[in-house]
Amino acid sequence: MSIGIVRLRNAVFYAHHGVMQEEHRIGGRYEVDVSLELDFEPAAREDDLTKTVDYEKVYVVIRDIITQNKYFLIERLSYLIAHRILERESIVLSAEVVVRKANPPVGGPCDCAEAVYKAIR
């Protein structure tokens, strides 16, 4: 078996997560990267989407988790996304998810906070 990686990088959403009540009310920008390990050699050899991961479906998983609920922690978001992908995409061997929160409320200048989580089948 060979291992390949399929990535979605910098999927951007506006959502309402955070510990502070203001974050839930006002919302903010969230960015997500996903790296999926799988054996896509059969798909590559045959040019067949049914033998690899459909990244449009993966994007929908990310979008739904980020936009349909409110959570306190970006750690929770990365955890949920990784496990939902593994549940829905049986060909995926591992899912690494990075969730970035732009301009986190840390009391000074900071581009983003990020949580990285890797789930392995």
Nearest to 59, CA basis, from 51, 69, 67: 67
Q: What would the DSSP string read from start to end of the chain?
A: ---EEEEEEEEEEEE--SSSHHHHHH-EEEEEEEEEEE--HHHHHHT-GGGS--HHHHHHHHHHHHHH---S-HHHHHHHHHHHHHHH-TTEEEEEEEEEEES--SSS--SEEEEEEEEE-
51 is known as an active-site residue: no
List the catalytic residue out of 51, 57, 70, 101.
101
Q: Which amino acid is at 24?
A: H
Active site residues: 101
